[in-house]
Amino acid sequence: MCWRVEPDQGLVLDDVRFAPAGHEAVPVLASMTMGQLEVPYDTGLRTTEDITTHGFGGRNLRSLTPTECPGTLRSVVVPDFGDVAVGDGAARPVLCEEVVDGGIAYRSEEGGTALVARKDELRLSTVSKVGWYEYVTQYTFGADGSIRPELGATGDLSPDDYTDDPARGWPVGPGGTDRAASHAHNAVWRLHWALGGRGGQVVEQYDAVPTGEHGPRSPVLDGTLARLKTEQVVTKADRRWWRVARPGLRNADGHPVSYQIDLGPTATFELTADHGHEGAGYDVAFSEASGCQVFASANDDVRCGRGVPDFVADAQPLDDVVAWVAVGFHHVPRDEDQSPMEMHWQGFTLTPRDLVAQRADVPPGREAVNGDVQGEPARHR
């Protein structure tokens, strides 16, 4: 994996690979970064485009200290672009690299012996100050191969965005005064897939739907995988997820390797620039990779479209796949937001599905457990 900083997107990760224990590293993503962040206020009076107007890089990308980063601080020359002026750049410590505890990875007890391990996670993060808000751009790589892109927001409530309307703000001062305006943090990540290398990628949508039939003990559901052959936008539903697979690359069980896109909590949104476009309110979009389709909205190269609805409009066949993952957080301010504001998080998870034939780090004694073992796993050796 490599990292770099762009004036608009801030942190960009390139050539992301994962090496399960005892296996060679598998290429997963050609690149991963933010594609847009909009903050529209419920009053209708203001929207900021924090990536394309202000930028997460340049001067907005803040230098870190061991207080923010107990791990390793990494420096890079950050060109001095910012909201105010353009000057020279200097090498500054902007990237935090740390290994953090990810909690219990597994526990499996048999015959009085518990096989248990915690998991390590590699975490990369940067901090960008945009106006009154300070954003943490964070990517967490689990030892299980999972990847968790997240955006944290702290700093302070904008002093310019108070309202008298109780439907559009929450009082954060004494009594009913000082209603800080509600607003959304609408983020879109851009993931350029390269499972086993660029191209040859296939996108599928999984749905499990109740049939209405009840078996003797439980309701009966039908699970289906549907191929998404062309560029399109998709929306969330219960028990729905998507995966990017590479049919030409199979694990030892003969299953195509894939990664699953799991949306966490999200308030589905339309970016303000997409208003009125068909398919503007998407949760995930899949487009064929293009070097000039960089931002989810306000994309500056108009020949390639202004944003995601334009990128998918010609329904090209998917092969070299970019996924646009949209996660919205509606922020109703509360007294505790002052001051400073406690960090709030939004994001999603990429989970390996059949990258290897068993878990990525099989502990001793479980090597033979692969499929229906007709009994207790530890006794089947």
Pick 131 or 199: Cβ nearer Cu ion: 131
Q: How far is the CB of 115 from Cu ion (least distance, A)?
A: 43
Q: How far is the CB of 246 from Cu ion (least distance, A)?
A: 38
Q: How far is the CB of 185 from Cu ion (least distance, A)?
A: 6
Pick 246 or 331: Cβ nearer Cu ion: 331
Pick 293 or 346: Cβ nearer Cu ion: 346
Q: How far is the CB of 142 from Cu ion (least distance, A)?
A: 28
H/E/C letters for each residue in 20-77?
Answer: CCCCCCEEEEEEEEEEEEEEEECCCCCEEEHHHHHCCCHHHECCCCCCCCCCEEEEEE
Residue with the CB atom nearest Cu ion in the bound state: 331
Q: Are 318 and 231 in contact (CB under 8 A)?
A: yes
Pick 205 or 346: Cβ nearer Cu ion: 346
For residues 173, 175, 181, 186, the Cα torsion angle rounded to the nearest 10 degrees is 80
The secondary structure of the chain in percent helix, strand, coil, rounded to multiples of 5, reads: 5, 50, 40
CA dihedral over 247, 250, 255, 261, signed as positive or negative = negative
Written as six digits, the tokens of 3 are 């990292």
Q: How many helices (H) and strands (E) does the chain have?
A: 1, 21
Summarize as ranges the residues that interact with Cu ion (CB under 5 A).
Answer: 331
CA distance 348 to 367: 31
Pick 243 or 331: Cβ nearer Cu ion: 331
Q: How far is the CB of 337 from Cu ion (least distance, A)?
A: 8
Q: How far is the CB of 249 from Cu ion (least distance, A)?
A: 41
Q: How far is the CB of 183 from Cu ion (least distance, A)?
A: 6
- 252 - beta bridge partners? none
Pick 334 or 380: Cβ nearer Cu ion: 334
Written as six digits, the tokens of 5 are 């900083």
Pick 181 or 323: Cβ nearer Cu ion: 181
